Structure 1
Amino acid sequence: MSDEVQPGFVRVRLDLSYDGTSFSGWAKQAGGRRTVQGEIEEALRTVTRSGEVSYELTVAGRTDSGVHARGQVAHVDLPGEVWAEHREKLLKRLAGRLARDVRVWRVGEAPAGFNARFSAVWRRYAYRVTDNPGGVDPLLRGHVLWHDWPLDVDAMNEAAQALLGEHDFAAYCKKREGATTIRTLQELGLARGDDGIVTATVRADAFCHNMVRSLIGALLFVGDGHRTPDWPGKVLAAGVRDSAVHVVRPHGLTLEEVGYPADELLAARSKEARNKRTLPGAGCC
């Protein structure tokens, strides 16, 4: 798979955000379900007056149903004449066409070698939860999970240390045929704000399906005293799904930011990211 743009086309980067509450995730689905990808592609087709022609988006991170995004990134390859005609007014026209729960904040010609998915070097998520005995502020109910046990944030941070680094996260992922579950978890830490909301910051080169929500589920069990701080690390080492690890609800999760290398490194990163990884000492294939 090449990142070379077809002759006559221009690769355009889109920076966007959305409230995932009413979406069935990012990716288009059969059956007419409302998705972020479907909504934006339809808006693009309409505002560029492209008739039956549609332009497919490639996204940095395919979020699940109910998951939000503040710093999502996608790209689309547009015919050069379409880009030239619409580039100046595309952002405003998209704002007028899209529903209020999804916004495109920036459109611009992407640098050579850019691929929204494969060029990314990290994705950063935040998961927000409160243990307030009274529940969640009604104005935040779509973005904060209520956990009805007091949480020890120090114990959760202690437990998180064993999960950092490159590991096979099979114990925390919903396995997909032919896909590796090896990931590098670069950051995992929790902090309680003045409002009492505990925010978990989770950053990795990439995530496998349900990984963030499973990690948070394990840490919540430590935070409320049902498990000791060494338990999440033991689950990771076992390498198999543990029925005690719950996949927490999606509405507390937000994709906050996607990181990319310098422009001259984009193509090399894209090529590297396509290689199926193994851990040091592990057999190939």
Structure 2
Amino acid sequence: MSDEVEPGFVRVRLDLGYDGADFSGWAKQAGGRRTVQGEIEDALRTVTRSGDRSYELTVAGRTDAGVHARGQVAHVDIAAGVWEEHREKLLKRLAGRLPKDVRVWRAEEAPAGFNARFSAIWRRYAYRVTDHPGGVDPLLRGHVLWHDWPLDVDAMNEAARGLVGEHDFAAYCKRREGATTIRTLQELFLTRGSDGVVTATVRADAFCHNMVRSLIGALLFVGDGHRGPEWPAKVLAAGVRDSAVHVVRPHGLTLEEVAYPADELLAERSRAARNKRTLPGAGCC
């Protein structure tokens, strides 16, 4: 599959953020449900006065219903003449057209070979939780989970170290037909802030469905003493879903950042990311 842009079109990179509370996820859905993709595509069509012409966004990370984003990245191919006419005022016009829970912060012509999804080398999420006995600060309630047991962050970090690296995360993913569950988890650690909120930083080359929220669910079981620090790695090695691993609620999760290689490596990264992965020593099929 090529990432060459159709003649007469310009590929535009969009950097954006949204509060996911009132969205049914990123991707457009049947039945008229409200989605981030749908809102942005409708706004683009309106502000560029494109009539019946539709836009199709490709996104770095398809977030689930209720998940937020600060550093989401998407691309869209726009007719060169339309882009030239609207590029200077596009951000301001989008700000006037989009609902207040989604914003586009940057819209620029993308370098050759750029694909918002396949060119990315990692995505970084944060999951925020508090164990304060009084609950969550009302001003943060839409972005922080309340866990009503005291959490041992040191034990959670010990458990997290056993999950970092390239593994088959089938035990922590909702399987999709034909999709691999092999991922490289590059970072997983937790810190407690001065406000008592515990933030888990989770960075990987890519994530499978429900992976981050399942990992956090397992670590919370360690943090509150229901399981030992070795347990999440044992679940990973077993390779099957464990009923004790809960998929935590989405509102504590935020996509913070997506990273890309140098411009000259974008196309090669995009080609490599499309290859179905196997673990060393595993069969090809």
SS at match of 2:222: helix
What TM-score comes out, normalization by structure 2 length? 1.00
What's 2:261 paired with? 261
SS at match of 1:88: helix
Deviation (angstroms), 1:73? 0.1
Q: Which digits, 9 at most, give the CA deviation of each residue in 1:88-129, with x for residues without a partner?
A: 010100000000000000000000000000000000000000
What amino acid maps onto 1:141 in structure 2? R
- Tell whether 2:211 aligns with 1:211: yes
Deviation (angstroms), 1:161? 0.5
SS at match of 2:88: coil
What amino acid maps onto 1:35 in structure 2? T
Deviation (angstroms), 1:52? 1.1
SS at match of 2:261: coil
What's 2:147 paired with? 147
Cα distance between partner residues in 1 of 2:233 and 2:283: 23
Cα distance between partner residues in 1 of 2:91 and 2:136: 35
Q: How does 1:1-285 map to 2 (within 5 A)?
A: 1-285=1-285
SS at match of 2:162: helix
Deviation (angstroms), 1:66? 0.1
Cα distance between partner residues in 2 of 1:54 and 1:225: 52
Cα distance between partner residues in 2 of 1:50 and 1:131: 50
What amino acid maps onto 1:162 in structure 2? G
Cα distance between partner residues in 1 of 2:180 and 2:75: 24
Cα distance between partner residues in 1 of 2:202 and 2:212: 7
SS at match of 1:108: strand
Q: Which digits, 9 at most, give the CA deviation of each residue in 1:170-215, with x for residues without a partner?
A: 0000000000000000000000000000000000000000000000
Cα distance between partner residues in 1 of 2:79 and 2:101: 28
SS at match of 1:71: strand
**Identical pairs, percent:** 88
What amino acid maps onto 2:22 in structure 1? S
Deviation (angstroms), 1:19? 0.1
Cα distance between partner residues in 1 of 2:169 and 2:222: 18
Deviation (angstroms), 1:24? 0.2
What amino acid maps onto 1:107 in structure 2? A
Root mean square deviation, CA, Å: 0.3
SS at match of 1:272: helix
Deviation (angstroms), 1:33? 0.3
SS at match of 1:167: strand
Cα distance between partner residues in 2 of 1:53 and 1:75: 16
What amino acid maps onto 2:100 in structure 1? R
Cα distance between partner residues in 1 of 2:9 and 2:281: 43
For structure 2, the residue ranges without an aligned partner over 5 or more in a row are none
Cα distance between partner residues in 2 of 1:147 and 1:189: 18
**Structure 1 runs, 4 residues or longer, greater than 4 Å off:** none
Cα distance between partner residues in 2 of 1:52 and 1:147: 48
Cα distance between partner residues in 2 of 1:10 and 1:271: 20
For structure 1, the residue ranges without an aligned partner over 5 or more in a row are none
What TM-score comes out, normalization by structure 1 length? 1.00
SS at match of 1:155: helix
Deviation (angstroms), 1:5? 0.2
What amino acid maps onto 2:169 in structure 1? F
Cα distance between partner residues in 2 of 1:2 and 1:79: 19
Q: Which digits, 9 at most, give the CA deviation of each residue in 1:124-164, with x for residues without a partner?
A: 00000000000000000000000000000000000001100
Deviation (angstroms), 1:21? 0.2
